[in-house]
Chain A
């Protein structure tokens, strides 16, 4: 690297999604006057928190040439299990640990099915999606769960040093993930798994162990998001996480992560998640409901995948 770099030369480290983010921001600011109000912007920050978290997990899985379609259902199941524990008076800490346990268990199951049994990631996690959905519907009896515990609501609604808790949580998770992905051997293995799995195996790395680790990580992150979702809406709905895996994939892809592994990064996915939240929030302000938002995100996802695919070739 050159010692003296001009400012413009440094901009190549800025992911393309950052420019797209600014563009989306400007477009909605022009069309909707209330969009840039402080209240709405902080609202966007809070709304984006869950998507950002699951997008970080999805990015790591996608970098290793995998996919995790069970994220949304694991979020629902985490919420339900945490809710049941809270409602039964198990206390704050135990409930959260129970929720995270769900993520570890689902992730480990995915990982074992993919790495040991050799299933294609999308079908193993698609099956897991059905399993987790069924269990959470059954455990909650098909109803929304409520609880008395109020300490739990601090996670997503509290403030620390005048900054909302979700922002702190995102900063924390992002830092940990950044460290894991870029500073540890495990992180290098994730990139290498996506780049050349056979080469990695031949160089003596334990593929199975690494893959299971990746899916456990993704499951834990999904359960964090599930706990935050439950805390934010102060209830747990058995299908509350529906669609999050779709938005996480879209965020990762907008951020420049490909489906073929090895390319992409965490920073892009954060901007991808912000873009998706901006689009959803902006469209809501303009009066376009969820169906419009899903249609548009579907189109954007397709366009970005196409661009990424051509770019990779």
Chain B
């Protein structure tokens, strides 16, 4: 069975699809599959950011709130101020960048546990989003802006193209650039990588900045798809993204895993939620399923290493309270 382990996630995905299509005939219809891919696209963008943060041994609980804040600010600039589209998008990305910078600086320079500072950042940014929007909803954007979330390029929906591009770029970064290997090195052993000349603090800060920018990008796609922006969007996204990363095979201890697995993780989660809708299971149970999935996945991961005796040279656990 050992030769199957590298493909286990794809097998799980296929088995899941087969199981659900057995119960619901609508599952394998083209429109439903495109719908799943479109929903998974946004989760995948967030998941990619979460993956690189988790590979360095950190976590980013603020991504849903950063998504909300950046999309709210973009909405204000585009709709209320009437500025052209690029300015709104760039402003959103800058907001994401700033939030990520604060997270990263606090984690790297002050040595605050990542989950604490990103949790505080979550409340801070969501509070700001409420303040900027004053409780109202901004809706009705220009067709050019809506193209990002709802348009088609060569017959493929735009969110899927954007998500695929992000994934390819980050797979390239993690495989073929020095920064990519530095991320793994920092996650595996921060002390050793610092001694071997890697500027570990800078790596950590850059990782959180990238996660912030990706959250903002996901916010733009999400807002364009919804055609509306309000401060409460994306409350469950940290939970979804962490679940996607864990199912994708990146352990919380850092130093292992990768962006490629997260794509499958995002698909699995979207399919599960889609199947719950198709089978008429109450949507109120979604957070229950996600929470349970997270706990099951980590338990399995921490035990499968013993079961299959996979290489476990990376045992550094620097998640603050987790050590």
Contacts and interface: CB of A to CB of B under 8 A. Distances in A.
A276 interface: no
Nearest to A140: B284
Most chain A beta-carbon neighbours within 10 Å: one of B128, B129, B286, B288? B288
B291 A119 contact: no
A259 B110 contact: no
Q: How large is the interface on B (under 10, 10 to 19, 20 to 34, 35 or more residues)?
A: 35 or more
A290 interface: yes
Contacts of A122: 59, 113, 115, 319-322
A202 interface: no
B282 interface: yes
Contacts of A39: none
Interface in B277-323: 282, 284-292, 294-295, 298-299, 302-303, 317, 319-323
Contact of A131 (B291, B320, B321): B291
B112 A134 contact: no
B242 interface: yes
A291 to B, nearest CB: 4
A281 B137 CA distance: 27
A66 B116 CA distance: 12
Contact of B298 (A65, A123, A133): A123
Contact of B120 (A69, A127, A291, A301): A301
Interface string A112-141: 010001111111101111111111011001
Interface string A252-295: 00000001110000000000000000000000000001111111
A305 B106 CA distance: 10
Given A246-B119, A302-B117, A137 B112 contact: no
Contacts of B120: 246, 298, 301-302, 305
| Most chain A CB atoms below 10 A, which of B117, B120, B130, B290 | B120
A297 interface: yes
A175 interface: no
Interface of B, secondary structure class, is helix
Contacts of A172: none
Contact of A67 (B124, B295, B321): B321
B111 to A, nearest CB: 6
A225 B303 CA distance: 35
Contacts of A260: 320
A249 interface: yes
B126 interface: yes
Contact of B131 (A62, A132, A137, A295): A295
Nearest to B133: A291
B242 A126 contact: yes
Contact of B288 (A69, A117, A131): A131
21 contacts: A65-B321, A117-B302, A117-B303, A119-B298, A120-B319, A121-B322, A123-B242, A123-B319, A127-B291, A129-B291, A130-B294, A138-B285, A259-B113, A259-B116, A290-B130, A291-B129, A294-B124, A295-B124, A298-B123, A299-B124, A301-B116
Interface of B: 59, 61, 106, 110-113, 115-117, 119-121, 123-124, 126-131, 231, 236, 239, 242, 252, 282, 284-292, 294-295, 298-299, 302-303, 317, 319-323
Interface of A: 62, 65-67, 69, 113, 117-124, 126-135, 137-138, 141-142, 243, 246, 249, 259-261, 289-295, 297-299, 301-302, 305-306, 309-310
Top 4 nearest A-B pairs by Cβ distance? A134-B288, A130-B291, A120-B322, A298-B124
Given A117-B299, A134-B288, A246-B119, 14 more contacts: A67-B321, A120-B317, A120-B321, A122-B113, A130-B291, A130-B294, A134-B289, A259-B113, A259-B320, A291-B126, A293-B127, A294-B123, A295-B128, A309-B111
